[in-house]
Structure 1
């Protein structure tokens, strides 16, 4: 058994070029790790985000950030959608009522100076009285009411932005109350996300209305303003010199976002000086630049754990049998999978929950996670698959290396794994149609909202079914009620107890196999400081300086 594990680990090492590091969540500026296939060692230098002091200077310089793709909108909320790149750009233009400091893990005032829960579903905000919107008018409660009722709710009924909000009312010119349709204290943290940026009706109308403002977003009150969008080339923002927060100093006069799908080309642009930042690099590729003296590399986790989900729906095949699911779990080499999935910068998960959760506990021991091929074969025999079984794993292209390791693991137990990596649209269709046996999907449970806590096991809409992986909803009433209790619990100790209970239920039923923390990576200019993150690990473009 040991020899088989060594072979799998050697495969993992080869796939990540034998470059490893440990402690992907640590605050150290450098990490050291052992190569997983031998006693050879490699030292890598990785700059961690959210560590540099805030900038204090302004210049006439331009910052260029290379993104992997061009968004279809720069104000997606107006069209009822959100996209990663749009959120990154929008974060510089839009202020929300509160902001979350990812260096201190604390909520801080933004457009609201104070807030309080009136009851379980009503959240009252007191607004600043010195904020100027893009059209020169002051921020008032009616702007929040308009943004909430006309954009978040009416335009976003099927996504997180509007799904859980009933409406907003102005109590007076500088006080507004937002009502939610279910109980979740972490809705307050969710309100710090870019899709909850505040705009006014007048500035939206001046930009041409909700349709036009998606491509002409002269809106908001953020530290930067929209200047120009050259389709297929770039988006340019300019510093808002009338920004209300006088403690903020935007070092760069302009920020230019460019779009290049080729990650190597994005990195080369940084090395040549044509760009300052190559954002969203594949982790394994970014790791190869970690010892490059001409650039900085940052590799970090962001509260999202990747899970291997088993199809247990009505159309499920062998994975409907719990013994088959347990056999797969026993046959997997979680250390090797984590080595490949995180390029050696993260370890195998020991809980459903990510360690960044304030209710995290390690519910699995390393012994429980050890490879047990004989045990897997025994369970398969009991399930009637002693002669082997063929199953299909669905994943995106970037999951291929991880799925390949799984394929080798499962072959040792007599399980033939076919790998299906379609394009994104087909992947989504297959995922929610249950057209697979196994699927790799992550979630971000550090924020406890209905869309974030075990979303593939529960009803996401208050009045309708959610996005259950594998087809029809199968979870028990106890599972559902415990998820609801965890989301609504404000006491951290009690939330920890509920999270532990859910973790035990997942373990007992082998609902999924917990794999590894999902990682993000970027490469940026050596003299650049201020790499900070916003929600969901997105880069914050507003804090960079030299």
Structure 2
């Protein structure tokens, strides 16, 4: 294969920085390997009703008095996120302890009913939501439409991204089980937004009883999830207790309690499972998982997700405002080699920006959806263009140092000096927003329709968004507008046109997808991923003998 020399040449480089790179493989979509790859995009045109979730083949039907112990990579910062504070680890707990209007099905990238049984379209910004009449909180009190209205207002005020376009003034309860959900503008994929772990519904009375949203960060108000918070000992653990009043007959929680613990060191999390002190360890690296393949004390679980890593050219800044230079460099990037090194072959080489899992919204621009790797052509183009002794700047998060260093070496071999500045998020975010780079690497998940699918490539957002190709061509505005249309066919064609523009103009290079790794007690199964590739700890149970 063409990239065999690349792999050999880069192996030593990568080994020096693998510790940094593998941090990106942790959680941030039968047997030891699981793939949570969505197969279809969420339709823009809203259906009148939604089909129920299909129960998985190995769904649990038993209850026990046992405790499941889960090791996270860090202590959660909040229990509710009602003030806008949230983090990846908090989302793991929030999913377990709250109920949402809709659930996200990672196999289809669609919203499926949860508290909502369905909805009617009133117009492009108003939807009548019908709630289950049997849904109750952990204390047995009913979940009402007024609670949903109240929480939507709280989330909008808190500035959560999915709640950005909610219109609290026109969101009203019509009766206990019916509400009108209003938006300030047409919002593609709003149903999927309501699947976020941060979109949990709480009792208004309970929030007020604990002292309001601010107090709820450490003291969870009554909620309607599969589990509730029994105790939080700061710095040690959070104890979850099974909700015996849980209203969904299709779900049974096997474990009476889930003890959530944490350790920043992945080796410590893995050792906890191997020693029997824990049942699940999340946020592991691919290499750590592979060492467990023949281990009788722990089972590796590897998810290949629809989150994709992309190399972005700054198209608004010299020298990459020259599309021919962007094309030449694209030919030099061996994405297959990068996937083999970073994901150890467990991931996929991707076209970029929009993954195959977007279904009808995706199209192959390149043959087989992989950009052409042709280093000889790239070298010749550089020579013809006259770019000699070129120096460029690349900024990346620390977690993306591995691919950046490999690309740096690739470009050095053709006379391009690429200076890399690794950054922590606090420094990367403002620099990437301002476009203080020639190249950067980022990840994105556009497997489902959402209001922000195209912010990274929309000229109107070029310098408000973090990273991306900084496209300023006004022709792209009209394309993005069509992709966000409320007309289904227009939107699908718009997505295809976005793909055509990005690759006609060599704005980015698709690298590989994100791989999420974990380890479990060898006697249990049922670990899954949630939206945004967080682990779902509520469906684990013993393997049937």
Establish whether TM, by shorter chain, passes 0.5. yes
Task: Please state whether the residue corresponding to 1:79 is helix, strand or coil.
Answer: coil
The 3 A distance-change label for structure 1 pair 482 and 299 is: same
Task: Please state whether the residue corresponding to 1:56 is helix, strand or coil.
Answer: coil
Q: Where does 1:15-414 land on structure 2 (aligned, <5 Å)?
A: 29=30, 45-48=32-35, 53-76=58-81, 78-103=82-107, 106-134=110-138, 136-149=140-153, 151-156=154-159, 159-167=160-168, 168-313=171-316, 316-358=317-359, 359-365=361-367, 369-385=371-387, 387-414=388-415
Task: Please state whether the residue corresponding to 1:279 is helix, strand or coil.
Answer: strand
Unaligned runs of 5+ in 1: 18-23, 31-44
Q: 1:455 and 2:451 equivalent?
A: no
State the partner residue of 2:524.
Answer: 528
State the partner residue of 1:500.
Answer: 496
Deviations 1:357-407 (A, max 9, x none): 12222211269734333432343345442x221222222222222122212
Normalization by structure 1: what TM-score? 0.86
Unaligned runs of 5+ in 2: 17-24, 37-54
State the partner residue of 2:435.
Answer: 434
Give the deviation of 1:259 after TM superposition.
1.5
Give the deviation of 1:61 after TM superposition.
0.8
The 3 A distance-change label for structure 1 pair 428 and 270 is: same
- 2:312 and 2:441 in contact (8 A); partners too: yes
Partners of 1:128 and 1:403 in 2: how far apart?
Answer: 50
State the partner residue of 1:467.
Answer: 465
- 1:302 and 1:536 in contact (8 A); partners too: no
Give the deviation of 1:161 after TM superposition.
2.9
Deviations 1:219-265 (A, max 9, x none): 31111011111222221111111112233211111111111111111
Partners of 2:142 and 2:463 in 1: how far apart?
Answer: 41
Give the deviation of 1:468 after TM superposition.
5.5
State the partner residue of 1:509.
Answer: 505
State the partner residue of 2:19.
Answer: none
Task: Please state whether the residue corresponding to 2:414 is helix, strand or coil.
Answer: coil
State the partner residue of 1:39.
Answer: none
Partners of 1:372 and 1:317 in 2: how far apart?
Answer: 24
Task: Please state whether the residue corresponding to 2:394 is helix, strand or coil.
Answer: strand
Partners of 2:167 and 2:133 in 1: how far apart?
Answer: 26
Between 1 and 2, higher relative CO (CA 8 Å, sep ≥ 6) is seen in 2
Give the deviation of 1:272 after TM superposition.
0.5
Number of residue pairs matched by the alignment: 509
Partners of 1:474 and 1:363 in 2: how far apart?
Answer: 19
Partners of 2:336 and 2:372 in 1: how far apart?
Answer: 9
- 1:184 and 1:448 in contact (8 A); partners too: no
- 2:190 and 2:451 in contact (8 A); partners too: no
Q: Where does 1:535-546 land on structure 2 (aligned, <5 Å)?
A: 535-546=531-542
The 3 A distance-change label for structure 1 pair 486 and 293 is: farther
Deviations 1:439-471 (A, max 9, x none): 1111111122122x133122788xx97415379
Partners of 2:243 and 2:120 in 1: how far apart?
Answer: 30
Deviations 1:121-172 (A, max 9, x none): 21211112222224543222111110111x111111xx41321211211122
Partners of 1:364 and 1:219 in 2: how far apart?
Answer: 51
Give the deviation of 1:194 after TM superposition.
1.5
- 2:433 and 2:464 in contact (8 A); partners too: no
Q: Where does 1:466-485 land on structure 2 (aligned, <5 Å)?
A: 466-467=464-465, 469=467, 474-485=471-482
Give the deviation of 1:498 after TM superposition.
2.4
Normalization by structure 2: what TM-score? 0.86
Partners of 2:473 and 2:150 in 1: how far apart?
Answer: 40
The 3 A distance-change label for structure 1 pair 309 and 176 is: same
Task: Please state whether the residue corresponding to 1:483 is helix, strand or coil.
Answer: helix
Task: Please state whether the residue corresponding to 2:198 is helix, strand or coil.
Answer: helix
The 3 A distance-change label for structure 1 pair 406 and 517 is: same
- 1:116 and 1:123 in contact (8 A); partners too: yes
- 2:325 and 2:385 in contact (8 A); partners too: yes
